[in-house]
A and B are shown apart, each in its own frame.
Chain A
Amino acid sequence: MKNTIKYLTPVILVIALTGIISGTNQDVRQPISFNHKLHTEEVGLACVDCHSNVEKHSRALIPNIETCGDCHDDAEDENREKAKVGSYVSRNEKIPWIQIHVVPDHAYFSHRRHVTLAKIECQTCHGEVSEMERPFIIPFVELEMSWCINCHEKSKVVNDCNSCHR
């Protein structure tokens, strides 16, 4: 019996780990139920208005209080979600967004390269964000290497390993 447990332990561990990894995203709760649709359709904002780094830098970033604070600072707002933003702003505390679209450390990915130079639409990788009434809890696509390579092959751009891996 003892022996069985010993042999099984790694297996159990692997199963447990897989569960954690694949299960993570379903359990994500963003701090504020952000409504992309409202901001784009009703307020009329473009993606770059808030994700301001996207055209010039490699990281696009999730906007935080410096950006949100331009419009929201009322912690007492009737709308519960707005009030939450306002309260972060008034406390000068960062909104603890959970980043969903993550490119691993060992890949060189630049938004400027893709958005500004290659003129790829945001929707290609992030989906119809402007239709979303809730924040991301799972990525639009799993950002795996095959996703990158497929597109690179289709658009006949460089797909040498060393041009992205670092």
Chain B
Amino acid sequence: MEISRREFLRLLGISGVATTIGAVTANSFFSIPDEVFERVLSGPRIETWKNSICTLCPGGCGIRVRLIDGVPVRVQGNPLYPINLGAVCPMAESGIEMLFHPDRLRSPMKRQGERGENKWEEIGWDEAMEALTERLKILHDSNQPEKLVLVNHHPNSVVKNLAARFMKLYGSPNIFEIDETQANSIPVYLSHGFHSPPAYDVLNSNFILNFGGDFLDEGPSPVRFNQFYAKLKNRKDQNRARLVHVSSYMSRTAAQSSEWVPIKPGAMAALALSIANVMIRDQSYKKEFIKKETFGFENWKDSLGTEHIGFKNLVLEEYYPEKVSDITGIPASKIVEIARDFALTEPALCIAGGQAATSTNSLYTLWSIYCLNALKGNFEIPGGVLFPKQMFSSQSQDFNLENVSRIGSNKPKIFPENICNFNFTSDSLEQLILSLHQDKKYPVDTLIFNGTNPAFDATNQQFFKDAINNVPFIVSCNSFMDETAEWADLILPKPVFLESWDGSYGVTGAEFSHFGVQQPVIEPIYKTKNFGDILLELSTRLGGNLASGMSWNSLKDYIQDQSSSIYHSGEGAIISESVDISWIEFLKKRGWQAFEYSTFDEFWNILLEKGGWWDPIYSKSDKDRIFKTKSGKFEFFSSTFKSEIEKLDLPQESLSARLNYLCDQWKISARNDQIFLPHFESPRFNNDSGSYTYHLLTYQMLIKTNGPGGNINLASELFGIYSREYWNSWVEINPETARSLGINEGDHLNLISPTGKLVVKVKILPTVMPETVVMPYGLGHNSVGKNPHEIFDTDMDFITGIPSSISTMIKIEKVNIDKNV
């Protein structure tokens, strides 16, 4: 069977592939089931609505789907759902096209011919599952379960928990959880001693200092942040919040801020520390908080009497504005101005994301920025940093591990030598490719992709083919054929989010506990199975402790089981029109529950009808809950990091020998105490020859953020809504760059990096810094547009495994393209 995805897009608009809607008639070539089509043609056209969750991005918005005779025609926001309050983004809106997309995978497929040749044979589910089971059984029985690798992309979903449980029971440590929203957990781990993304009380703040977080287009929950920014901008007169956006490109988020401060790529840590410098010199930091609740601010002596440098002196010595001005390209007076605004406004919040985590110094950048919140004493106060309760976090290990599984799951992950498996880091696709590509601690046998597409998304995708060449068996679970699935041996088709069960909880940045149920608004229209059900069936087939440890009949069962823990806790309430927060709070204070449901079934049915549950009451945390460090305080000097290094399995005995070894491995210049303090590491750029002079940056648009659905026509067409380059990629350059190179609007440029070339059309825009060129990311899946990740020459922050995409340097050349071709 041939997959005509590439052809399809090219042919759109030619009647051979398409049908005319004005005169819809039954068509024998119609490939959606007859009963669905029948309903469309001659149904009574009765309108109903169903609530569910959109899981296209980590945001997990509550959705309300309009059905005509049971067929979904429109996705709108669920007005009651606390994350998005009735709004959705263009991605969710295109969910309908996703559901009926001609490229949907309709049944399991087995590879025919060579890998990547894209020849497939349709097989039944039974055969497909049997093939996978057999493979895993042999692996498990021969005591090498660690050779199974699972790549998962399901942040905030209950399927993630199920997958983690499966891997544990099977006995492999190699689960890669791809989640771009977790970067801010890193500084929390270093300074607070636990791993959890913080929530920012943006709405109650009067000054937001945003380091590179393009939260209106990407990140934890774009819809929420669009609402936040609109509300902040719209506060009455003197209460208007001031939003300062520091980044190397003026994104839509920067454009919606009060001020954009352009900064040289990779220099954010220096700016943050310089702001700290000004605050410390001005004595405008929260002295009381710093004195009582922090460790490592002043110089200190350890138990042996050795003197260690404190954050204060480090910052005062190294990061005065005049010096940092050279590093960042921001005038010293501007740095002082921002620092004073930040210090004197109450409450003022500092947030980071996106560009702050794209360089080789990501860890120290995120940490330095985060420490500004400590100087403001910003923890657990209105307008500050909050630590919401984690739901389902303490997954009780209510199962027994077989010996094989225990040994297997305790083995080290397949990371290469220079990446440590710290438990404060989250996994990236780049890390995965690097791990598979380089010499491994042990070979990989079976690789399962669940909805991830490293062959397109990863910024080191040039190594992808080599990386997977060494893997004997690759399984791809997906709703569409994508660049990664083309290299698989077995394809298991998944339903799209409108057809499947799932649950969403703990969206990064939400300050309340919440749980939304994703339910099928239409029965799966093809022979698909969601990933949870695949894992459960696999467990049954594999038998043993896996079968008893994964004993749910279906994913729906598992979700019901999870919901019952909410039901039994008696906390919070199912979202509803008639209840406001103050009422729930009033009742709770008096020991009452806002709602009583007589049975779990009643609770479950109302939960499905309304779409979600939440606990809006934020109980302030005790200090010992938010500071779990050795000192019991906020740590500028991270003893947590130090003890992690002591725990590493390395040949070196002494700490200093270990550190020297590690710093070489990590390619960082800091030594001794500095390693454990926020500081500025010079970013590495791949410009050895000196001939690559421009930084290549990318940005995403809300219309087509990465993730599933790269082939959605609606999104491709609207991709150019701001630039008027529909269905096409472009590169943005500064007017100055254009003048100096004699480039005019609409010319074509050849972008040359050490790893490849791309020819793209030029837009000359004042939103771009002169030393950078900027490309939108999202197109390039087929004949439409270009994928900038193809020419990335990515380095890495080896401590965290965060890819450093800005390490890519390029040169640009004008090309003459014959317009008639």
Q: From residue A31, how far is it (CB to closest CB) to chain B in Å?
A: 14
Q: Which of B39-47, B765-773, B806-814 contacts A (4 or more CB under 8 A)?
A: B39-47
Contact B42 A61 (CB under 8 A): yes
Say yes or no: is A105 at the interface (Cβ < 8 Å to chain B): yes
Q: Is B38 an interface residue (CB 8 A)?
A: yes
Among the listed stretches A36-44, A52-60, A69-77, A127-135, which one makes contact with chain B, having 4 or more residues with CB under 8 Å of it? A52-60
Bound complex: CA A94 to CA B45 (Å): 17
User: What is the chain B residue whose CB lies nearest that of A64?
Assistant: B42
Cβ contacts under 8 Å, B42 to chain A: 61, 99
A94 surroundings in chain B (CB, below 8 A)? 38
Contact mask for chain A residues 103-143; partner B; CB cutoff 8 A; 1 contact, 0 none = 00100000000000000000000000000000000000000
Task: Report how far A99 CA is from B42 CA in the complex, Å.
Answer: 9
User: A57 contacts B45, CB within 8 Å?
Assistant: yes
Determine if B45 and A58 form an interchain contact, defined as CB atoms under 8 angstroms apart: yes
In the complex, what residue of chain B is closest to A58 when comparing beta carbons? B45
In the complex, what distance in Å separates the CA atom of A59 from the CA atom of B42?
9
CB pair B44–A53 under 8 Å, yes or no, is yes
B residues near A59, Cβ cutoff 8 Å: 43-45
- Residues of A contacting B44 in the complex (Cβ-Cβ under 8 angstroms): 53, 57, 59, 61
Closest Cβ–Cβ distance, residue B44 to chain A (whole Å): 5
Residues from chain B with Cβ under 8 Å of A99 in the complex:
42
B22 at the interface (CB under 8 A from A): yes
Report B32-69 CB contacts with A as 1/0, cut-off 8 Å. 00000010001111100000000000000000000000
Chain A residues, Cβ within 8 Å of B43: 59
- Whole-angstrom CA separation of A84 from B72 in the bound complex: 34
Contacts of A57 in B (CB 8 A): 44-46
CA gap between A5 and B74 in the complex, in Å? 50
Number of interface residues of B (CB under 8 A): 7
Q: How far is the CA of A58 from the CA of B44 in the complex (A)?
A: 8
**Chain A residues, Cβ within 8 Å of B45:** 57-59
Shortest CB-to-CB span from A60 to chain B, Å, is 9
Return B24 CB to nearest CB of chain A, in Å. Answer: 9
Nearest-Cβ distance from residue B113 to partner chain A, whole angstroms: 41
Q: Chain A residues with Cβ under 8 A from B38's Cβ? A: 94
Report Cα–Cα, A105/B45, bound state, in Å.
Answer: 13
Interchain nearest-CB distance for A121 vs B (Å): 22
The CA of A137 and the CA of B43, in the complex, are separated in Å by 21
B46 touching A105 by the CB < 8 A rule?
Answer: no
Chain A residues, Cβ within 8 Å of B46: 57
Interface string of B523-547 (1 = CB under 8 A from A): 0000000000000000000000000
Q: How far is the CB of A166 from chain B (nearest CB, A)?
A: 13
Q: Which listed residue (A53, A58, A105) contacts B22, Cβ 8 A?
A: A105
Q: What's the nearest-Cβ distance from chain B to residue A108, in Å?
A: 12
CA distance A57 to B42 in the complex (A): 13
The distance in angstroms between the C-alpha atoms of A67 and B22, with both chains bound, is 30
Residues from chain B with Cβ under 8 Å of A61 in the complex: 42, 44
Shortest CB-to-CB span from A114 to chain B, Å, is 16
Whole-angstrom CA separation of A105 from B41 in the bound complex = 11
A99 to B44, CA, bound (A): 13
Closest Cβ of chain A to B310, distance in Å, is 71
**Nearest Cβ in chain A — how far from B73, in angstroms?**
15
In the complex, the chain A residue whose C-beta lies closest to that of B46 is: A57
Distance A59 CA – B46 CA, assembled complex (angstroms): 9
User: Which residues of B have CB within 8 Å of A53?
Assistant: 44
Tell me the nearest residue of chain B to A105, going by C-beta: B22
| Per-position 1/0 for B126-153, Cβ under 8 A of A | 0000000000000000000000000000
Q: How far is the CB of B685 from chain A (nearest CB, A)?
A: 58
Smallest CB–CB gap between A147 and chain B, Å?
22
Query: Which chain B residue shows the least CB distance to A97?
Result: B42
Among residues of B, the one whose C-beta sits closest to the C-beta of A104 is: B22
Kindly supply a per-residue 1/0 record for chain B positions 614-637, scoring 1 wherever the CB is within 8 Å of any chain A CB and 0 otherwise: 000000000000000000000000
- Nearest CB in chain B to that of A60: its residue: B44
Q: Which residue of B lies closest to A106 (CB)?
A: B22
Expressed in whole angstroms, the Cα–Cα distance for A59 and B45 within the complex equals 7
Chain B residues, Cβ within 8 Å of A105: 22
Min CB gap A135→B, angstroms: 16
**Beta-carbon contacts of B10-48 to A below 8 Å, as 1s and 0s?**
000000000000100000000000000010001111100
13 contacts between A and B (CB under 8 A): A53-B44, A57-B44, A57-B45, A57-B46, A58-B45, A59-B43, A59-B44, A59-B45, A61-B42, A61-B44, A94-B38, A99-B42, A105-B22
Task: Report the 8 A-B pairs with minimum CB-CB distance, sorted nearest first.
Answer: A53-B44, A59-B44, A59-B45, A61-B44, A57-B44, A58-B45, A57-B46, A105-B22
Listed in ascending order, the chain B residues whose CB lies under 8 Å from chain A are: 22, 38, 42-46
| 10 extra A-B contacts, CB within 8 A, seeds A53-B44, A59-B44, A105-B22 | A57-B44, A57-B45, A57-B46, A58-B45, A59-B43, A59-B45, A61-B42, A61-B44, A94-B38, A99-B42
